[in-house]
Structure 1
């Protein structure tokens, strides 16, 4: 068998294993790309051969589960700039001391976050313990995404991933520690943020989003709980478990992402070919919430959130959003509402001023192609204003 045949056979083996697993194949391309590069193929071939692969066939079907785990860990390691090693020597337990191991400082769908102390660097860190509900499938795809995105991230408004530790049944991601998330920060304050604070935090948020978008990454789950704020009002975007690489032409994504209150109209209407604008819409929702002290669109379901948006911005038409009527979940029988001016929306005009409401209008446009980009938003007049004295009633 020549090298070309051998490579194609190895690729078939990878694809065969994945096709029988019922798992997402989002990381298959990484392994196949490694197989096509002479300098990278040896580790994949080694894993295949170790698990009984011979010319695209498996000698024993039961080895497939072990193969899948090893391939997934190999994928995660290849995407991470820091080595992903099985923690057989218990390095992790020696290096990190949990402050309250049974009391997480945060908890979500994909894991819990604990405060801990790094005995080597002598600083407080945040450790995410990733849920391993299906251990036989190896690393969860959310962890693969998060490590892949954060491995090379270096920006003051993106949380820093410091370490990764893997052992049987356990996966820990170690991050820099930040005091609170934005939701906790606003709740503790007990009142709407000052116009200057809103502007400062929103600018940092847009800087972080612009950095991600420049690297072709869509966060897809921006909300106050996933935005960290330290004691000096430094903001950092966190929780990249739902992030995806963005490419042209637009791939199809699931629309079951982002907490409903911060979900863009195209996602709410079932669009699967969305782009960077979904993050801009979420950021606009967060901007409005910081200014008013309450979520702009606090629906208790998808349809309720849609109607909350309609009640503030009016029911959209095909004229202002070409292609609207073709979206899977849009109904021409939706109730008709007129657009309300910002002066009728709680504190928005007085807190944001005319420039701030104009920026919100640019971010919260129905047609995603007409939404301002994160990069252009940073050049908006709103961020050129200083102090709290720019509050002017806006239409």
Structure 2
């Protein structure tokens, strides 16, 4: 017969009592096997006041609490009421980001509300944020926060004043070459760290790059990121933001590599000089037309396997020349060389992050200061 254990919580003992008396058989004997209860302790009334019914926690809270603690090792877990949620900073495909304040310390933080709850992309993002903790090129993860009584899950990170997109718009004069070098060096060091540790960002763009008042750059928003084991794997091409998507993704390639990140890095470098996106299509086909109009239309000679990609069946305007240098008269020859290597249509010819960091452009004395 099940015994009442005085060391247990009153709610547990009450649950055992109920199970004991509910398990009488038709003959009136008390059963000797008590089924293990799965009820939430927060919803079991105390034996002192069986009429009091505390507010139930949401199903998502119970599920999230188990998932976070069970599947993500050493993950700090907290409650939303530890923070004061202030203004909304931005909104993305997977969540809204708010400016917040930690009540205990008064420190400012960024609080990202996961729009789809704690889904697969959330796990990926947190795994990667944990992997880059301590690296200066990434926003620092603090903890996961759950609202106990609503279906809301949040990720708390360090707060950075501006993103690169807003910085460019608010500046009276564009970045000079020396400033672009400083920013690109930090960006490439962060991207190189990701790639060397088996991670792709897959959504690099100015709004996902934060810059503080000291000029320190931090990569954020890993909702579309992916860890990989092989240099070239099969993944979904439905990732990234249109103006920064590599040609292989626009053409529907399901096998691609870290080169998709390097294309986005090249688009960002061009935008820092132009103060606007270099390729501004309104559809995937139009985006490809914009790319080929400046870099030249590829074929199987310059890009082996081009005709086998799903999107290559469309008829693109024939443009045989690379006219990139005509759009960047203020950049040195070495700067154009790096930009051409970042924006190579053939991903096999695109420069790696490791080689880009060591490109001679970074060691060349800039003509502007």
Question: Same fold judged by TM-score > 0.5?
Answer: yes
Residue-by-residue CA offset, 1:22-71 (whole Å, 9 max, x unaligned): xxxxxxxxxxxxxxxxxxxxxxxxxxx969xxxxxxxxxxxxxx79x849
Residue 353 of structure 2 is aligned to residue 378 of structure 1: no
Partner of 2:141: 161
Give distance in 2, aligned partners of 1:289 and 1:364. Answer: 13
**TM-score (norm. length: structure 1):** 0.74
Partner of 2:28: none
1:119-268 correspondence to structure 2 within 5 Å: 119-132=103-116, 139-153=118-132, 154-166=134-146, 167=148, 168-248=150-230, 250-268=232-250
Deviation at 1:121, TM superposition (A): 3.5
1:7-26 correspondence to structure 2 within 5 Å: none
Residue-by-residue CA offset, 1:236-272 (whole Å, 9 max, x unaligned): 1000000001222743211111111100000000001
Pair 73,243 (structure 1): closer, same or farther in 2 beyond 3 Å? farther
Partner of 1:74: 67
Residue-by-residue CA offset, 1:300-352 (whole Å, 9 max, x unaligned): 1111110000110110011111111101111263220132433421xx231x3
Pair 190,298 (structure 1): closer, same or farther in 2 beyond 3 Å? farther
Give distance in 1, aligned partners of 2:324 and 2:167. Answer: 25
Give distance in 2, aligned partners of 1:181 and 1:319. Answer: 40
Superposition misfits of 4+ residues, deviation over 3 angstroms: 69-73, 340-343, 386-390
Deviation at 1:164, TM superposition (A): 0.9
> SS in structure 2 opposite 1:116?
strand
- Please provide the CA RMSD for this pair: 2.6
**Which one has the bigger helix percentage?**
1
Residue-by-residue CA offset, 1:106-151 (whole Å, 9 max, x unaligned): 111111111111123431111111113xx6xxx2222111101101
Give distance in 2, aligned partners of 1:188 and 1:248. Answer: 41
Pair 370,165 (structure 1): closer, same or farther in 2 beyond 3 Å? same
Deviation at 1:232, TM superposition (A): 1.2
> SS in structure 1 opposite 2:348?
helix
**Is the contact between residue 216 and residue 247 of structure 1 (CA under 8 Å) also seen in structure 2?**
yes
- One of 66, 75, 97 as aligned partner of 2:84: 97
**TM-score (norm. length: structure 2):** 0.79
Q: Is the radius of gyration larger for structure 1 or structure 2?
A: 2
Pair 77,211 (structure 1): closer, same or farther in 2 beyond 3 Å? farther
**Is the contact between residue 295 and residue 324 of structure 2 (CA under 8 Å) also seen in structure 1?**
no
Residue 311 of structure 2 is aligned to residue 311 of structure 1: no
Give distance in 2, aligned partners of 1:111 and 1:342. Answer: 36
Residue 269 of structure 2 is aligned to residue 287 of structure 1: yes
Partner of 1:359: 338
Deviation at 1:192, TM superposition (A): 2.3
Give distance in 1, aligned partners of 2:73 and 2:321. Answer: 47
Partner of 2:92: 108
Which ranges of structure 1 fall in alignment gaps of 5 or more residues? 1-48, 52-65, 391-395
Give distance in 2, aligned partners of 1:320 and 1:81. Answer: 48
Residue-by-residue CA offset, 1:256-302 (whole Å, 9 max, x unaligned): 11111100000000001111000000000000000111211011111
